[in-house]
Amino acid sequence: MSSYQLNAGSGPTRAMGSSGEPSYMDLSNMPVDNKQQQTMMWQQNQYMSDSGIHSGQTTQAPSISSKSHGDEIDDGDMDPSKMMFDWGLGGDAYNQEQVDEINQQLNQTRSQRVRAAMFPETMPEGVQIPSTQIQPDQPTAVQRLSEPSQMLKHAVVNLINYQDDADLATRAIPELIKLLNDEDQVVVYQAAMMVHQLSKKEASRHAIMNSPQMISALIRAMANTDDIETTRCAAGTLHNLSHHRQGLLAIFKSGGIPALVKLLSSPLESVLFYAITTLHNLLLHQEGSKMAVRLAGGLQKMVALLQRNNNVKFLAITTDCLQILAYGNQESKLIILASGGPGELVRIMKSYTYEKLLWTTSRVLKVLSVCSSNKPAIVEAGGMQALAMHLGHQSQRLVQNCLWSLRNLSDAATKMEQMDNLLMMLVQLLSSNDINVVTCAAGILSNLTCNNQRNKVMVCQVGGIEALVRTIMQAGDREDITEPAVCALRHLTSRHMEAEMAQNAVRLHYGLPVLVKLLHPPSRWPLIKAVVGLIRNLALCPSNHAPLREHGALPRIVQLLIRAHQDTQRRASISSGGPPLSGYVDGVRMEEIVEGTVGALHILAREAHNRAVIRGLNCIPLFVQLLYSPIENIQRVAAGVLCELAADKEGAEMIEQEGATAPLTELLHSRNEGVATYAAAVLFRMSEDKPQDYKKRLSMELTSSLYRGDTNWTDPPGFDDMAMPLEDSRDHMYNPHGSQSNMYGGGHHVGRGLTGYEQVPIDSMQGLDIGSQHSSNYGPMDNLPDLANPGDINFDNLDPALGPPTGDNPNLWYDTDV
Amino acid sequence: MAGHTAGEPLECYSIPIVLEKEPDIDQHGNPIREPDGKQRYRCGFRIGGGIDQDPSQSPQGYSDKGVYVTYIHDNSPASRCGLQLHDKILQVNGKDFTLVTHKQAVESIRKKPVLKMLVYRKGVPSLQKPPNTMVSHTQFQAYPHHGQPQQYSTQQPQYQPQY
């Protein structure tokens, strides 16, 4: 192999080295018409060994190259006289003129001969080229060299295709690195272009990847240049490299990420594409990239890009990057929030139809929706409605992600308007075959109907009751589905215009049997609690009383009550003396079960037959015991159910026999209006059979004890539309020992309450306005019954002076201006 | 329902009236305040009666110990809200007025700036109802505790990394 320097040159290479070995060149990119040039050059080089020609030939347009075409082609290398020597001068004698003519001809056809020798395949058919061969056994120089030239040609062709990175690595890369670091921007640009071209072929790409200095030089050039084309080439190179693990590693190690993030502000779209795709690959496959991108401020830039761009594929990649960065990283989610992410993402969901983009965006929203700061922002930006738009999409993955996001967001969206479309879709999705879809839909409905009248009415109107009942039936013992569905029904059956319709609808769609069944094992406490609450609501509708009884709801509810109550008693005895143990079983406190079951029995007891059953189950002792509970809600429901039971004579008698009078009287002093009122009502009903006189005194007693704490009484629950749970409105600052001064506006009578009661234990008497302010006819309260002691109060010992002062009153009848 | 014995169960039709008080001002237009500095409000009517008073002594000849409206000032919230002379006040802001002392009645009325009242007026038809129902006309209904909506966001959804 001759040591020819093949300087076909695809770039401004000044020196390809002079070691004599053939160099690898990327000739495939060269335009074909330059073959002529190449041929000419080879033609020249034939006569030069180790010439080390630095031709500097470029294959680009002259305007770009700093050197013009054909500068250094030496035309004067052909020495005709040499040829003539080869020929010898034997044979015919030609005169000088003829010789000159022949020489000229031969000169002109020389290139053809050389071309024929080297590239016989390129010769057109039937062309006669004058031969210079004089003697058959003495081949011409061209002929002699034709074979080696052919071999060379083959070798070059092989080299062009041969993946020999070692060679390139040792030869071209160091030079390119130097050029990339050059001060001259144009040089840098050329070098970058060269590298870009090289990076398109696999062998050279590997060479580049394996050279960390090359990568560093590229990144530096990319970051420091003002020329956008250089940036583009460099970015393109990195993009090509990013399809391989080594490339990713190399880029990462050389600090490519900050530079790429900087490129995200570029005005040139191709640069943006290269940058975001490279970053995407890094985030997907390169360990440590996420942290680096976050540190480099990538999140803010990516969110900003969402605004600028309309290309759906670009947006899909960008949102996927955001999702990778935000998953599991709270800080990233907050940064996205601060950069206005939720608004942009919701806008994308609303505006585009490209499935992949919708899918990636829904995943970002899903990741953000578990963050409590992002949630309200997404909801306020209209996220619920935007996600709802795609619930009918044929792409299952999109629908599923939307549902997950909606479910996560749903507890923050209970006050949103314009949810009608969403609610309709959700009711439809309840009939889906996919379990996940049904689970999510039930959960979302449960939350959205919580405390929201408009949503409740809407769901009822679109057949939600029927759909939910059917869902519960089909779900069997899958509590993931039944629990939210039952909760949704519970919301739908109370406190809105269509509640009564809903209560009837559950029955009409055969919901009662399956609901009562859910009270039994294997149901766990959360589900049981929900079902009990639903049954309570259903019992508000009189038509449900008999069916519920027939399906055996009452005994089971009582059973649950007893179990829960025993559990609380056990805990109380364990921790006697100390703070009460609040025991959670499956995340439910047994006190809640007690309250729920008694509450249900309270409403069920509106019907006479049910009352008989309840009495027959021997619950009254338990109810009376519950009156002693420290929890106000339990007191209230216990007093409530006793109130209903006391409507029957047998019930009233049983209640009195259980010694309820004492705790009930105690409860008259309760600061909870409901408790006090129910207690008063029970006592009242219990006194139906008593003598008139007794009744009068009792009612005096009751009303005075009911009204002595009137400073802080708010409206009773019956009159307000209570959106808040009952307990909240009961947060009184009431101080039973200090309210005297508030009651009497002018501050007088302050001391009166205390001094007159000395013979009686103070505790229960404090705050009792037994006497009236105006008339002093009520004598000292010597004989007041001892209300602090449990046990039956003997009303017969009441001082007659306490009776209503008919006829005793010397005061004139008068009126007061208010 | 005239001549109702205080303390007996009572069931009748009543008229709901809402009265919004206005700030009390003196003749110069300055607001009148309570001793503790709070603004005083006026309703513009007078009440008489109570269980500690003798209705036989009433000039109007009321028949029982209920609380009655004995006078309505012109140009007052009372005159504007539909309250009428001789209305018997059954309930104010949920508090039963059939069994209160006079002073208690006054205190109750003075307490809140808005009064939601139920009054009985002569001429209102009497109620016919079957026995054995809730006898008090004050219906208390305990509202179900809906609780808070379920927090779902503590569940992390599944994420499959795609390669």
Give contacts of B 54-113 with A, CB under 8 A: 54-59, 70-71, 93-96, 99-104, 106-111
Residue B93: DSSP 8-state: T
Q: Which residues contact A328 (CB under 8 A, 6 or more apart)?
A: none
Q: Residue A431 above 50 pLDDT?
A: yes
Indicate the residue of B55, B147, B153 with minimum beta-carbon distance to A372: B153
- Chain B residues near residue A284 by CB distance under 8 angstroms: 161-163
SS (H, E, C) A234-276: HHHHHHHHCCCHHHHHHHHHCCHHHHHHHHCCCCCHHHHHHHH
Indicate the residue of B109, B140, B157 with minimum beta-carbon distance to A404: B157
Alpha carbon of A267: minimum distance to chain B alpha carbons (Å): 30
Name the pLDDT band for A579 (thresholds 50, 70, 90): low
Cα(A603)–Cα(A614) distance, integer angstroms? 12
**φ, ψ at B147 (rounded to 5°):** 80, -175
Q: Which residue of A374, A532, A816 is the best one to mutate when testing the B interface, meaning the one whose CB has the most B CBs within 10 A? A: A816
What per-residue confidence (pLDDT) applies to A139? 76
Alpha carbon of B15: minimum distance to chain A alpha carbons (Å): 14
What per-residue confidence (pLDDT) applies to A148? 83
Q: Which residue of B11, B46, B145, B158 is the best one to mutate when testing the A interface, meaning the one whose CB has the most A CBs within 10 A? A: B145
For residue range A336-381, what is the model confidence (pLDDT) as tens digits? 999 999 999 999 999 999 999 999 999 999 999 999 999 999 999 9
A411/B70 CB distance under 8 A:
no
Q: Biggest alpha carbon distance in chain A?
A: 174
**Which one is predicted more confidently, A721 or A285?**
A285
CB A502 within 8 A of CB A460: yes
**Proportion of chain A above pLDDT 70, given as a percent:** 72
User: Which chain B residue lies closest to A640 (C-alpha atoms)?
Assistant: B142
Q: Given CB atoms, is A327 within the 8 Å cutoff of chain B?
A: yes
What per-residue confidence (pLDDT) applies to A706? 64
Give contacts of B 8-27 with A, CB under 8 A: 9
Q: Given CB atoms, is A728 within the 8 Å cutoff of chain B?
A: no
For residue range B46-61, what is the model confidence (pLDDT) as tens digits? 999 998 888 888 888 8
The helix-helix angle for A212-224 and A185-199 (nearest 10°) equals 130
What per-residue confidence (pLDDT) applies to A166? 57
Average pLDDT over residues A253-266: 93
B136/A681 CB distance under 8 A:
yes
Q: Residue A279 above 90 pLDDT?
A: yes
Cα(B67)–Cα(B53) distance, integer angstroms? 10
A815/B156 CB distance under 8 A:
no
Q: Residue A52 above 80 pLDDT?
A: no
What per-residue confidence (pLDDT) applies to B153? 54
**Which one is predicted more confidently, A182 or B152?**
A182
Structure tokens at A387: 């996600």
For residue range B6-50, what is the model confidence (pLDDT) as tens digits? 878 777 888 889 999 998 888 788 888 888 888 889 999 999 999
User: Which chain A residue lies closest to B115 (C-alpha atoms)?
Assistant: A715
Indicate the residue of A451, A633, A811 with minimum beta-carbon distance to B53: A811
For residue range A787-807, what is the model confidence (pLDDT) as tens digits? 333 333 333 333 333 333 344
Q: Which residue of B54, B68, B118, B158 is the best one to mutate when testing the A interface, meaning the one whose CB has the most A CBs within 10 A? A: B54
**Which one is predicted more confidently, B127 or A173?**
A173
Q: Residue A731 above 50 pLDDT?
A: no
Q: 């049954």: which residue's tokens?
A: A535
What per-residue confidence (pLDDT) applies to B44? 92
Give contacts of B 124-153 with A, CB under 8 A: 132, 136, 138-153
What per-residue confidence (pLDDT) applies to A384? 94
The helix-helix angle for A35-45 and A96-118 (nearest 10°) equals 120
For residue range A124-173, what is the model confidence (pLDDT) as tens digits? 776 677 777 777 777 778 778 878 888 888 777 766 666 565 576 668 88
Cα(B91)–Cα(B100) distance, integer angstroms? 10
B149/A812 CB distance under 8 A:
no
For residue range A282-341, what is the model confidence (pLDDT) as tens digits? 999 999 999 999 999 999 999 999 988 789 999 999 999 999 999 999 999 999 999 999
Highest mean pLDDT: which range of A59-63, A283-287, A672-676: A283-287
Structure tokens at A778: 């009520």
Cα(A747)–Cα(B28) distance, integer angstroms? 28
Q: Residue A523 above 90 pLDDT?
A: yes
What per-residue confidence (pLDDT) applies to A60? 43
CA angle A729–A735–A740, rounded 5-degree value: 120
Burial class (CB in 10 A: 0-12, 13-18, 19+), B75: exposed
**Which one is predicted more confidently, B144 or A99?**
A99
